[in-house]
Amino acid sequence: MTACARRRLWALAWPLSGMEVMTFAKELIITAFVGHLGPIELSSLVLSQTLYNVSGNAPMLGVVTAMETFCGQAYGAKKYATVGVVTQRALVITTIFNILCIAMWGKSESLMLAMGQDPDIARAAGRFTLMLSPCLLLDGFEQCIRRYLACQSVVQPLMYVTFLATMLTPLYLWFFIVRCSWGFEGAALAWICVQASSFLGLLIYTIYYTYTQEPSKRTWMGWTSECLTDWPLYIRVAIPSAVMICLDWWTFEIIVMLSGLLPRPEMTMSMMGITFNIHALCFFAAHGLSGAASTRVGNELGASRPRQAWLNTQVSVLMGTVIMMVCAGLLLLGRDQLGAIFAAEREVVLLTSQAVPTLAISLIGEGANTVLAGVLRGCGRQKIGAQINLFMYWGIGLPFACLLAFRMGLGAMGLWTGLACTASLQSLILSWIVFKFDWNAEAQRAKALIASGELEIELDEEVELLASSGRLGNESLLESPSKPTTLTL
């Protein structure tokens, strides 16, 4: 049974991991091109990526990942039409959210100046971020489509489309930066073209896939006004999803910004940007397992198979940890060459080499963390992840990193050391929490969440209510029909 679970997880995970790695590889290629324009351009790009992720991409992904709970469990329960309705709802909510984010970017330069960033870097980064506005909208559409397909275990086309878009990236960069001589701004236009190509490719495949589905299993029945209903429940799941992702991402992005307050900011920010990109690339190598775990756990809970959900959790956490250990070992072997890929300045290359051992340690904890976050999304337990991230990263991680960097004089090495310690401790805490779940209770809870159109659900208190009524804790609960309990939100 374990081997079967491992094969099914791997069949989902490797295309998702490949897609995530190639998605981020597009940004790495852009970073490498811009890095050879000069340290000011590279620092401006790093700062712009930070602002883009902090105020746009990270919270948008949080809004979208609520789909993993609703769509995964609905598909497992064979509520196929519900998958399409949830996707439409997510598209509308995500688009509105992204427009609000873009509206705030008009003040990005003033915000960065107020935070003490270099005026030249802040000016270039603010303009670059505004130019990326279409990317956020396109990415929002694409992320919704990805999860619509992934919940149905359709993942390989996602990888192929992303691969094609990644292969086009150097061509777009060459055309706008070299051929048109538009320099730094040409990189923004190239990024927009890459994102548009990826979205259009995925949209074309999704239309084809939807119309070739069996009529009895069709998940998209056309646009319906139902997508404008049940927003409160979706948002209540989306908010902790967004908080969970943002608290994690924001920590790393704020660390990059803090590196700009250290001596020689053009060098330290360049190094932090490079090591952050390397960290993210390795992270995404394991992140496919997070999506696979979310899909499998959600499907199994929706189908009332708690033992299978628990088995998939164990296998996915083990696989994620092993993958990150391999990545850490490879980074240590090539530590002296990594910086030269992204920058020509000798000081930046040396700083990058010095940071790699601490970076490698942080990756091992992140391997378990990302998979456990996927398990929480599959269970609809995002609030647990949000609370842990708030306590670990903002209560412990950031203050500890600042103490090491600024008070103890360790500089950029202190920032990475603080993150490595935090990631390792968080992985232990999350493992202890998730491995103590009552999976029979989680399956019953999934039933209530799928029936959200008929019931009002309290996502945090329903398990305690069921337990107090004596209906929880044995396998027969999942096999015998019972009258649904109305739970107040």
**Measured distance CA(149)–CA(451) in Å, rounded:** 22
pLDDT at 93: 96
Residues 378-396: what's their mean pLDDT?
A: 87
CA 164 to CA 302: how far, in whole Å?
34
Residue in 187, 41, 186, 183 with CA at minimum distance from that of residue 121: 41
CA distance 145 to 26: 19
pLDDT at 473: 40
Question: What confidence category does residue 268 fall into, taking pLDDT thresholds of 50, 70 and 90?
Answer: confident
HSE-CB at 1 with a 13 A cutoff on CA atoms is 7
pLDDT of residue 480: 35
Output the pLDDT for position 96.
96
**pLDDT at residue 148, as a whole number:** 94
Of 190-194, 239-243, 268-272, 364-368, the poorest mean pLDDT is in: 268-272
Give the 3-state secondary structure of 342-379. HCCCHHHHHHHHHHHHHHHHHHHHHHHHHHHHHHHHHH
How many other CB atoms are found less than 10 A from the CB of residue 214? 7
User: What value does the mean pLDDT take over residues 14-42?
Assistant: 82
Which is higher by pLDDT, 274 or 66? 66
pLDDT attached to residue 381: 87
- Overall average pLDDT of the 12-38 stretch: 82
**DSSP-derived secondary structure for 144-198:** HHHHHHHTTT--HHHHHHHHHHHHHHHHHHIIIIIIS--HHHHHHHHHHHHHHHH
Q: Give residue-wise pLDDT tens across range 358-367.
A: 888 888 888 8
| 141 band by pLDDT with thresholds 50, 70 and 90 | very high
**pLDDT attached to residue 135:** 94
Of 197-211, 252-266, 393-407, the least confident: 252-266
- Whole-number pLDDT of residue 363: 86
pLDDT digits (tens, 9 = 90+) for 446-461: 877 766 543 333 444 4
Residue 159 φ then ψ, to 5° = -70, -40
- pLDDT, mean over the chain: 82
Looking at 348-362, 424-438, 439-453, which range is the least confident one? Answer: 439-453
Q: Which of 44-53, 334-343, 362-371, 466-475 has the lowest mean pLDDT?
A: 466-475
Whole-prediction pTM: 0.76
Amino acid identity for residue 355 in this structure = A
Vertex 162: Cα angle to 157 and 165 (nearest 5): 130
Q: Which residue has the higher pLDDT, 137 or 281?
A: 137
Report helix, strand or coil for 480: coil
Q: What is the pLDDT of residue 366?
A: 84
pLDDT reported for residue 114 = 80
Q: Give the model's confidence band at 85: pLDDT under 50 very low, under 70 low, under 90 confident, else very high.
A: very high
Listed in sequence order, the residues at least 6 apart from 296 whose beta carbon sits closer than 8 Å to its beta carbon are 5, 8, 9, 12, 309, 312, 316, 378
